[in-house]
């Protein structure tokens, strides 16, 4: 199977390439990315998802496309980049696929399409994105919906993962784990809000499952590793893995948001990107619990439990840290 991955030089893509590369007789891999891959330079070609003519030349003889490329950070500027890359990119990919008679795509969207504080939404829940990232991902899905209406013989698989964590990732979950493990963690709110998470080892295994097993129709899947932890439970698990007591001080939500607004102002004055913002405080205190029954009843068995994924990450990052400095930034 000739698989073309677009945007696989990053965190999820690197792990996915590593998994698929274990079966060289089954998969012939190509990665197109605007950044060179640290671990798979031999199969990576430089290209931008905004360049439709380049995509047409790169998708020759492809059997399936895995689209991972996206603008996803909270602080992308100008905000038009979200739509140029996430929406314009999917349009360009579909055009290039059609030119090369490629009819299978796996697209990574996000649970951000649901918005904040929704009550355990499943794939049929109304969408209500609150930021440009979520809005652009939903618009990209709408492009795919319209495309499938006029191309019913195509196989379109859409994956909506929750926040993804794992070894070498430098995003909000890593920052949270680092703060908690350091003992300098400040809890905003009561800590009873549940946080859906997904370990990268399970995400890439599910993408492989979609490649191998979901070859027909239009399919949408949330992906979450269950059971969901509350923030208090997460702190307890981290303490158990690291074998240390993790003290926590609870601050009321209003005070946390006030602090976040102060950091927003400081970031605006200094023109610097700071690790704390009102958006991140809001996301931290939100309930981010999602229904993933469809994915977990599809025949897929996650290779890791959520607790195992957290233990793997904590051990890799804080117990036996790597000697190299290769990391991947995300939210």
238 three-class SS: helix
The tokens 């671990």 sit on which residue?
A: 39
247 in Cβ contact with 183 (< 8 Å): yes
**Cα separation values, 59 from 67, 90, 210, 250, Å:** 12, 14, 20, 52
Q: How many CB atoms lie within 10 A of CB 268?
A: 9
Enter the tokens of residue 301: 């068995």
CA separation for the pair 294, 120 (Å, rounded): 13
- If we measure between CA atoms, which residue out of 72, 134, 70, 65 comes closest to residue 93? 65
44-46: strand order across its sheet:
44-46, 28-33, 2-6, 64-67, 104-108, 155-161, 218-223
Q: How far is CA 15 from the centre of its chain?
A: 12
- Give yes or no: 83 in active site: no
Q: Is the peptide bond before 331 cis (omega within 30 degrees of 0)?
A: no
The active-site residue, picked from 114, 133, 199, 223, is: 133
194-199: strand order across its sheet:
163-165, 194-199, 225-230
Enter the tokens of residue 103: 């009819």
CA separation for the pair 213, 236 (Å, rounded): 37
CA separation for the pair 74, 132 (Å, rounded): 9
Residue numbers annotated as active site: 133
């Amino acid at each position: 199977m000739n698989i073309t991955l677009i945007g696989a030089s990053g965190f999820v893509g690197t792990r996915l390439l590593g998994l698929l590369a274990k079966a060289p007789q089954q998969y012939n891999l190509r990665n197109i990315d605007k950044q060179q891959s640290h671990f798979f330079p031999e199969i990576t070609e430089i290209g931008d998802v905004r360049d439709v003519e380049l995509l047409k030349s790169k998708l020759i003889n492809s059997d399936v496309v895995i689209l991972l490329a996206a603008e996803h950070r909270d602080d992308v500027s100008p905000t038009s980049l979200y739509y140029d890359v996430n929406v314009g990119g999917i349009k360009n990919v579909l055009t290039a696929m059609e030119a090369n008679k490629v009819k299978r795509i796996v697209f990574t969207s996000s649970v951000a399409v649901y918005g904040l504080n929704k009550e355990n939404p499943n794939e049929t829940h109304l969408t209500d994105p609150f930021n440009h990232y979520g809005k652009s991902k939903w618009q990209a899905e709408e492009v795919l919906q319209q495309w499938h209406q006029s191309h019913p013989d195509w196989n379109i698989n859409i994956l909506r993962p929750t926040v993804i964590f794992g070894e070498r990732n430098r995003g909000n979950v890593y920052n949270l784990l680092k703060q908690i493990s350091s003992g300098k963690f400040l809890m905003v709110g009561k800590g009873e809000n549940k946080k859906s998470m997904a370990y990268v080892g399970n995400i890439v295994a599910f993408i492989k499952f979609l490649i191998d097993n979901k070859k027909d129709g239009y399919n949408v899947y949330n992906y979450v590793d269950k059971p969901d932890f509350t923030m208090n439970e997460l702190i307890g698990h981290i303490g158990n893995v690291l074998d240390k007591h993790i003290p926590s001080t609870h601050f009321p939500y209003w005070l946390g948001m006030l602090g976040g607004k102060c950091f927003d102002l400081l970031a605006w004055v200094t023109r610097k990107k700071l690790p704390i913002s009102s958006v991140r405080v809001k996301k931290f205190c939100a309930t981010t619990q999602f229904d993933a029954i469809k994915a977990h009843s599809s025949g897929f068995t996650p290779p890791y439990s959520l607790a195992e994924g957290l233990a793997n990450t904590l051990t890799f990052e804080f117990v036996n840290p790597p000697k190299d400095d290769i990391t991947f930034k995300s939210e």
